[in-house]
């Protein structure tokens, strides 16, 4: 195992500072965009994103539906870029999430949505990108340069930006206050030791990652990072959905990571985790409610809409170390590069 600190590890350690910087400097743009979203009062919203950004959009989908009663639906960028379809979006909002803000298919759908009358809001780490220029509101997530191929601080800052946007749209002072506490909580999350997972993953080529509600977005992101950095096949499932067909694979020490947040879904995630232990799975859960699954340490935020976010920071710290344990460089995943532009 190399002892040289990777870009990924440095960027994980930068997450608390990146979030604090964003919260300190972005109040005006978030308030303006949030008030515009509230004034326009869309009937529904769509998200435009790929990769880790699409997982961030999934997190925001749940927050929007729980906080505003505003349904979110992901739309495939190819609808505009390849098929040339014009969606009926006059009464909609469009939230585009992209690190670079320049992938042609993401930009094409955002442009089409705006042309069809949607309120368009871009969350991007590149303030002068085409996506930012072509949106009604451009929110610079201010994560700073990210050199590792695997997105970490841009993922977290995209979610924080979306949470701030939706909090302003709802006029939710409690959520805004919870966001201010995040940097300190995320710092603590880096130090949560998930190395107990290492033994369960040794010699394994596949695992499940479970979540529900906002934590389902974290599960999807974790599954992607297992593939990218560790060369392990991981699938993300709802803790409810896994109890249907996918459960057939569990047995003989099959690894399962159940990511529970302190929200209304926690009891069901913990129950699913314990049920999979009974089927001979090697199950780990971030919940004190799980009585049979092994427990992973977590940082509780005190707010149900932010509580899932520290989980991904603890996971990032683990998966970077686990990749190195497997003799891999998490900064240079096979076949991947930092910016992927699709049409």
Exposed, middle or buried, 55 (CB in 10 Å: 0-12/13-18/19+)? buried
The rounded distance, in Å, linking the Cα atoms of 325 and 2 is 9
Report yes or no: 312 and 225 within 8 Å, Cβ to Cβ: no
The rounded distance, in Å, linking the Cα atoms of 104 and 334 is 24
And the tokens for 205? Answer: 């080529």
Report yes or no: 78 and 104 within 8 Å, Cβ to Cβ: no
Place of tokens 């997190």: 59
Residue 238: strand pairing partners: 211
And the tokens for 15? Answer: 């997450």
Half-sphere exposure of 174 (CA within 13 A, CB side): 7
Q: Which of 35, 86, 180, 338 is catalytic?
A: 338
The rounded distance, in Å, linking the Cα atoms of 94 and 73 is 10
CA dihedral sign of residues 45, 212, 154, 179: positive
320 closest CA partner among 3, 4, 12: 12
CA dihedral sign of residues 193, 199, 205, 211: negative
- Tell me if residue 338 is catalytic: yes
DSSP assignment of 134-175 equals: TSSEEEE-------SSS-SHHHHHHHHHHHHHHHHHHT-HHH
In which element (H, E) is residue 199 found? helix 197-201
The rounded distance, in Å, linking the Cα atoms of 232 and 295 is 22
Active-site annotation, residues: 338
């Amino acid at each position: 195992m190399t002892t040289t600190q990777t870009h990924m590890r440095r960027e994980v350690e930068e997450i608390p500072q990146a979030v604090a910087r964003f919260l300190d400097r972005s109040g005006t743009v978030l308030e303006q965009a949030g008030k515009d979203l509230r004034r326009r009062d869309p009937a529904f919203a769509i998200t435009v994103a790929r990769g880790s950004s699409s997982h961030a959009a999934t997190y925001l989908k749940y927050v929007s539906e729980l906080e505003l009663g505003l349904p979110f639906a992901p739309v495939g960028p190819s609808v505009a870029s390849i098929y040339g379809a014009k969606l009926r979006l006059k009464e909609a909002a469009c939230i585009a999430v992209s690190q670079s803000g320049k992938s042609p298919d993401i930009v094409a759908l955002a442009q089409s949505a705006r042309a069809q009358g949607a309120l368009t809001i871009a969350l991007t780490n590149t303030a002068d990108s085409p996506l930012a220029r072509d949106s009604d509101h451009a929110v610079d997530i201010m994560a700073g340069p990210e050199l590792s191929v695997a997105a970490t601080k841009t993922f977290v800052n995209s979610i924080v930006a979306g949470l701030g946007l939706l909090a302003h749209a709802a006029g939710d002072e409690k959520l805004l206050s919870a966001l201010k506490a995040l940097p300190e909580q995320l710092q603590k999350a880096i130090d949560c030791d998930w190395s107990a997972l290492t033994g369960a993953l040794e010699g394994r080529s596949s695992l499940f990652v479970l979540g529900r509600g906002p934590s389902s977005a974290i599960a999807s992101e974790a599954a992607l990072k297992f593939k990218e950095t560790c060369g392990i096949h991981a699938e993300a499932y709802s803790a409810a959905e896994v109890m249907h067909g996918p459960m057939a694979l569990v047995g003989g020490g099959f690894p399962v990571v159940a990511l529970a947040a302190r929200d209304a879904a926690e009891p069901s995630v913990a129950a699913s985790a314990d049920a999979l232990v009974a089927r001979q799975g090697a199950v780990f859960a971030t919940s004190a409610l799980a009585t049979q699954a092994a427990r992973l340490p977590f940082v509780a935020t005190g707010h149900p809409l932010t509580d899932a976010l520290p989980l991904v920071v603890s996971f990032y710290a683990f998966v970077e170390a686990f990749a190195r344990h497997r003799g891999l460089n998490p900064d240079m995943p096979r076949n991947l590069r930092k910016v992927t532009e699709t049409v």
